[in-house]
Amino acid sequence: PLSPAVRNFTLNFTITNLPFTADLALPNSKKFKSTEKVMYHYIDSLLQKSGIGPYFTGCKVTGFRSGRNRENVGVDAVCSYKTNDSLGAFDREKVYHELSTMTNGVTTLGHYSLEKNSLYVNG
């Protein structure tokens, strides 16, 4: 059998209780690194518990951006999962619904508050 291929999907959401600062946009800054570490913890634990959990291989935060106002921070991440014929197709709607449920209807992620309609999963 063919070995599983690794595929990516993007995950975006907006945090409403983390003020955006210029250093969040700099991948080498302490603020970026510490926030990135916290995001990995939350995102990875959510995805491990989701339907893609057994196939999930991790996420990389690709950036933080200013939301509609300076109090909001947009989070962009690229996540990976293994796939092959026996695993079935990636179902981004299913992943979206599971993440939505696990974040209380896209309202909380750990100690962060999320903008209600900001979750986006693109497979």
Q: Residue 88: phi, psi to the nearest 5?
A: 85, 170
Residue type, 61: V
Q: How many CB atoms lie within 10 A of CB 83?
A: 16
* The pLDDT of residue 2: 64
* The pLDDT of residue 32: 96
Which letter, b or e, does each residue of 19-29 get, where b requires 16 or more Cβ atoms within 10 Å of its Cβ? ebbeebeeeee
Structural domains of the chain sorted by starting position, each given as residue range(s) with its CATH number in brackets: 5-122 (3.30.70.960)
* The pLDDT of residue 20: 92
Tokens of 118: 């900001």
Are the beta carbons of 113 and 107 closer than 8 angstroms?
Answer: yes
Per-residue pLDDT of the chain (123 residues; tens, 9 = 90+): 567 788 899 999 999 999 999 999 999 999 999 999 999 999 998 888 887 777 888 899 999 999 777 789 999 999 998 876 666 667 888 889 999 999 999 999 999 999 999 999 987
